[in-house]
Structure 1
Amino acid sequence: MKKKVLYLLLLAATFYSYGQKELSSDYSFTVSEPYQVYDSPKKYYFSDGNQILTVKPWKKSVVLQKFDVSNLKQISVKEYEDFPDNYVVEGMEQLQDKYYLFYSSWTGKKIAHEQLFYREINFGTGEFVGEAVKLIDIDGRLAGTFASTAGVSAPFAFGFGVTDKFSFLTSLDESKILIQYRRKPEERNDKESYDIIGTEVYDKELNKLWANEYTMPYTERRMDVEDFAVDSDGNGYLLAKVFHDDSNKDKKKRKDEEANYHMELFRLSKGSSEIEKTKIELGDKFINGISLFESFEGYMICSGFYTNGLNNELHNADGLYTFKITREGKLIDEKSYEIPLEILNQYVKNRTKKRNERKDEDGKAEFEHMKLRHLIIADDGSLLMIGEQTFMIVHYSRKRTYVTYHYNDILVSKIDASGNLAWMKKIPKRQSGKPKMGEVYDTSKTYQGGMSYSYFNANGNHYIVFLDNVKNIDLELDQIPALHSDGYGGYLTSFKINDATGAISKGSILDTREVTDKMEVYQFSNNRIVKTTEDQFVLEVYKKSKEDVLIKVDIN
């Protein structure tokens, strides 16, 4: 399920004049003096352009830090230990000029209540405002994510437990927030069980606008929730994949030319306990992923990737699609865009090129394991869609079985305001990794670590930033990138794409193994990168000796 994208910002300490070792004239960077590290499995970063606020929950305490962006000096550090023993952080959200930390607390089997609390943070002072406020109190248990909780405040210390019981989505203008939860099913047979999903909508002051619990119109077996959204009027939306029978969901027979499912949009509105449904179909195309966004025009935009009806792999992509949904639930402006063969054949082996050429003759050439990661809506109505090739591989041996997670090529596509494909670019990337012992991650989702990418836009350009293998610095168009192994250093690399022309260039920013003559850094994560100003972003990394540093990168 989609959660709001937050481009995180970073901490700082006293400014330190390290020798700089920039690798590209397009970028320069400054490193702060080392400062005390605060451990936390979930770290949140915010910036107003001048200062940075960081929120670091850990076991029974939460640390709030403030930093100055210009000189990377630490302004304040405050630690709060007045949280309940069994609290679990559910999220950190910004609503315009308001900042809220949400956490849940389970009352226990005797009382059996799930509760959601929030604490407001004053960005200016870097302090909590008043005491915790109980926002939601539910009689009974909620479903959540079975996740590793090593080092997390949870009833299961250093083991596994249920987290992420609540999901948070904000409107485009950040004036509304939708909080969603799912009751724990009473019936264990998914062919007979109907999900009960709670939806509560609040304004930016967290005044409740409306709330309702909806019993889904299809059994768990017949329905998968794909996405949630809320618009600026406070209406809720749910995208669902609805299966036509109780067979093995996405699986289909080789000769099938029609999907065993269709998509439906559920509209959830104040004052109505009924779900308004709209069926979504793309003819003979199989939708392999779909996401929902609010546009500046007042429409909801659906987008994702599709495969042609004759293909056998539903997780692959033949092309991408977009369409709009009016507030009344009507589908308009449906568009689809095929991925050209020349794009598919970039940065692949010769035998893969020949296989793609053979498949293309039958309309079967496709981009494997493609998932939509970002959709950026520009002020002029144009769209930027970013997809990433991601999958996992299970490795079997006599001694053990383990899983590796892979984040490979990126596909960036611009659709202009008229609905025409302006350009499409493939960015070469090969990343592989697996969780380390004791590392905190969601066992139901793909492990990320220091892999994947960050996205920024500045001065009419789009930037894709990720950690790469040093061997790929001078990679040519016909060369296959070398594999980057997560957790073993690498070069922070940026691809710049001109918004108007699609012209693409590449630059290497820094080497994590030798940021300066004196320093190697560790624990890189794209979740610790944030854009601070139009042409600047900051990242936080670990330098060992129980110290972190900030690295401020300027786009020249």
Structure 2
Amino acid sequence: MKKIFLITACLLVTIAYGQSKKFQFKMGTEYGLPKKAADLSFFGNEKDGIVNLSLKKDELYITRFNPKNLVQTGEKVIELSDATKNMNSETVVDFNQKYFWLRSDWDKNTQKEILYATSIDVKNGKISDQNQKIIETPKLAGDAVMTGLYRYKKVNKFDFNFDADHSKLLVSYRVAPESKNDKTSFDKIGIHVFDENLQKIWGNEFTMPYTEARMDNADFSIDAKGNAYLLAKVYDSETRKEIDKATGNPGYHLEVFKFTKDNKQVIHATVSVDAFFIRESTLIENALHDMIIACTYSKNAKNKGTEGVFLGILNTEGKVDGYLKGHYKFPLSELEKFESARKRRKMEKKDDYEIPNLTVRDVVVEKDGSVFLACEEYYIMQKSRMDGNGRFTYYTTYHYEDILATKIDASGNFQWIKKIPKRQEGSRGRGTMGFKLISDATGYYFLYLDNLKNLRLAEDETPAKHVDGLGGQVFVSKLDNNGNISKELVFNTREEDIMIFPSEFSKINDKQFIGRAKLKKTLFKPLLITVN
């Protein structure tokens, strides 16, 4: 076990450019982990403590901290003797301060996929002795990843979703198809619903009414009654044509599939997309227990851009309402901000400009029925450069750029859209890039690393670049409920000589978020953010 290095007291971070009234940062004692140990999650509470869960192969590391001063109070290394090389850590579930670690494994002897639930005792920094098998099923579909030379394993086999009240958990999966021919194979979807003690309420497997060639799964969701839902893109034919040549309209539509405890038949409702092309779609329950459909859309199937967002509501009677009034086009006047003069001229020349590379990151359905969407410009580029021998080498860069935030009120009226400029670039995946959304009754806060030059950026200026791994300043951009923007510099990582990863922070209560600051390859500190 790697030695843990301690410092005698917790460090309360001093903000270099003035103390933030809204945010406080607190760092704790150093702790060490082996090389390539994966950070699974930070979680806990003010009463019992804070725990960091990390994993390397078949060893689980539980590091506990005092919740008030973040001084380390213990560490345990637990060998998972029953784990195979196919084991995957899936997620950590927090049910009102009841914590469960979910992991999956493939049993070659029984030819079964197994999902285990392990209860975590935060107060004492340990796990339960018994692993609870909560799902056992035939081989599942997933994504293959390389684990070594000529070795790979499947990941992303399960999806996890909570209802709006966070009292029920939906675990869903897709059984591996028997036939490789998508035109003759029908998806079999597993649906399992659990209560806050991770006891199964109900579960079943459903055969979908369309072949794999005609159907793409988009998003799963669950309501307060334990009914499960799937939002899917259904093509008009197995040729999977995006455009109907006869009409020029989309060659597909959206459908919402409903799965219930007492009915083995799949119930489904159609959402007409008319002449609009869907980019991304999300299904989420609101406070009134209606299912909200939130999508980005385009008028042009070929340019892969986004014109705006639209909303639909699947009510408790299984009908889709409000779809036709739910289209909200992004105004060009907002999209032009923080762009070069040349880019603005190009945008104005196009009759229907659509923003490229837009990805939906967060959808928040408020208690009053209003909907907030946070999107980010994200894309990957392949680049080349000449080495010392005159040969070209190729490398990949990842780009996390401007944020677009949209608010639509409970009556379905478009309130505002705001652009938050940033330009993050790196070559190692997400790393320190991206953002963390923190919301409360006063508005929405975007936590991210940025270049200091962007603190006071005029609307006719373009943002300076922040390079992943090279320090950076922690910015918070706030949008209040009326769409007013303010920006604040709250922390300088270069002064502390650390790296932080804003998008990976975990929410432990309504006011606090925790993640880790990286000092060296194997040395870290817990970092607690408190929202006042």
Q: What one-letter code is carried by the residue in structure 2 that aligns with 1:546?
A: T
> 1:23, 1:507 within 8 Å by CA — same for their partners in 2?
no
**CA distance in 2 between partners of 1:381 and 1:483 (Å):** 37
Q: Deviations over 1:166-208 (max 9, x none)?
A: 2221222222211112122222222332222211122222222
Residue 256 of structure 2: aligned partner: 265
Residue 15 of structure 1: aligned partner: 9
- Kindly indicate whether residue 500 of structure 2 is the aligned counterpart of residue 502 of structure 1: no
**CA distance in 1 between partners of 2:17 and 2:531 (Å):** 13
Residue 63 of structure 1: aligned partner: 61
- Kindly indicate whether residue 466 of structure 2 is the aligned counterpart of residue 484 of structure 1: yes
Greater relative CO, 1 or 2 (CA 8 Å, sep 6+): 1
TM-score by length of 1: 0.86
**CA distance in 2 between partners of 1:117 and 1:531 (Å):** 23
**CA distance in 2 between partners of 1:555 and 1:169 (Å):** 26
Q: Secondary structure at the match of 2:345?
A: helix
**How many residue pairs were aligned?**
514
Residue 436 of structure 2: aligned partner: 454
Within a 5 Å distance, the mapping from 1:369-518 to structure 2 comes to 369-395=357-383, 399-435=392-428, 447-458=429-440, 460-499=442-481, 501-515=482-496
Q: Percent identity?
A: 31
- Kindly indicate whether residue 86 of structure 2 is the aligned counterpart of residue 98 of structure 1: no
Residue 113 of structure 2: aligned partner: 114
Residue 521 of structure 1: aligned partner: 498
**CA distance in 1 between partners of 2:227 and 2:334 (Å):** 39
Change (3 A) 1:314 1:328: farther
> 1:286, 1:314 within 8 Å by CA — same for their partners in 2?
no
C-alpha RMSD of the superposition: 2.5
**CA distance in 1 between partners of 2:402 and 2:156 (Å):** 29
1:45 pairs, out of 38, 42, 47, with 42
Q: What one-letter code is carried by the residue in structure 1 that aligns with 2:194?
A: Y
Residue 74 of structure 2: aligned partner: 76
Q: Deviations over 1:294-324 (max 9, x none)?
A: 111010111021112xx24463211111121
Residue 125 (structure 1) shift: 2.7
The 10-residue stretch of structure 1 (537-546 or 450-459) with the greater mean CA deviation from structure 2: 537-546
> 1:540, 1:549 within 8 Å by CA — same for their partners in 2?
yes
Q: Secondary structure at the match of 2:346?
A: helix
Q: Secondary structure at the match of 1:393?
A: strand
Q: What one-letter code is carried by the residue in structure 2 that aligns with 1:407?
A: Y
- Kindly indicate whether residue 293 of structure 2 is the aligned counterpart of residue 299 of structure 1: no
Residue 535 (structure 1) shift: 5.1
**CA distance in 1 between partners of 2:252 and 2:235 (Å):** 4
Q: What one-letter code is carried by the residue in structure 2 that aligns with 1:36?
A: G
Residue 350 (structure 1) shift: 1.6
Residue 218 of structure 2: aligned partner: 226
Q: What one-letter code is carried by the residue in structure 1 that aligns with 2:218?
A: E
> 1:433, 1:486 within 8 Å by CA — same for their partners in 2?
yes
TM-score by length of 2: 0.89
Q: What one-letter code is carried by the residue in structure 2 that aligns with 1:395?
A: K
Change (3 A) 1:390 1:159: farther
The 10-residue stretch of structure 1 (186-195 or 389-398) with the greater mean CA deviation from structure 2: 389-398
**CA distance in 2 between partners of 1:471 and 1:99 (Å):** 42
**CA distance in 1 between partners of 2:274 and 2:485 (Å):** 34
Residue 442 of structure 1: aligned partner: none
**CA distance in 1 between partners of 2:155 and 2:190 (Å):** 17
Q: Deviations over 1:452-485 (max 9, x none)?
A: 1001124613210111123323322211112222
> 1:423, 1:502 within 8 Å by CA — same for their partners in 2?
yes
Change (3 A) 1:121 1:32: closer
**CA distance in 1 between partners of 2:333 and 2:515 (Å):** 35
Residue 551 of structure 1: aligned partner: 527
- Kindly indicate whether residue 29 of structure 2 is the aligned counterpart of residue 33 of structure 1: yes
Residue 271 of structure 2: aligned partner: 280
Change (3 A) 1:355 1:263: same
**CA distance in 1 between partners of 2:72 and 2:195 (Å):** 32
Q: What one-letter code is carried by the residue in structure 1 that aligns with 2:14?
A: Q
Within a 5 Å distance, the mapping from 1:321-336 to structure 2 comes to 321-334=310-323, 335-336=326-327
**CA distance in 2 between partners of 1:549 and 1:218 (Å):** 50
- Kindly indicate whether residue 188 of structure 2 is the aligned counterpart of residue 212 of structure 1: no
Residue 275 (structure 1) shift: 0.9
**CA distance in 2 between partners of 1:123 and 1:200 (Å):** 26
2:308 pairs, out of 319, 326, 349, with 319
Residue 157 of structure 2: aligned partner: 165
Contiguous gaps of at least 5 residues in structure 1? 1-11, 150-155, 436-446
Contiguous gaps of at least 5 residues in structure 2? 1-5, 386-390
Residue 511 (structure 1) shift: 2.1
**CA distance in 1 between partners of 2:12 and 2:194 (Å):** 47
**CA distance in 1 between partners of 2:440 and 2:289 (Å):** 25
- Kindly indicate whether residue 522 of structure 2 is the aligned counterpart of residue 542 of structure 1: no
Q: Secondary structure at the match of 1:513?
A: helix
> 1:413, 1:424 within 8 Å by CA — same for their partners in 2?
yes
Residue 555 (structure 1) shift: 4.9
**CA distance in 2 between partners of 1:169 and 1:35 (Å):** 32
Residue 263 (structure 1) shift: 0.6
Q: Secondary structure at the match of 1:502?
A: coil
**CA distance in 1 between partners of 2:440 and 2:283 (Å):** 25
Residue 256 (structure 1) shift: 6.4
Residue 158 (structure 1) shift: 9.9
Residue 18 (structure 1) shift: 6.9
Q: What one-letter code is carried by the residue in structure 2 that aligns with 1:509?
A: V
Residue 136 of structure 2: aligned partner: 137
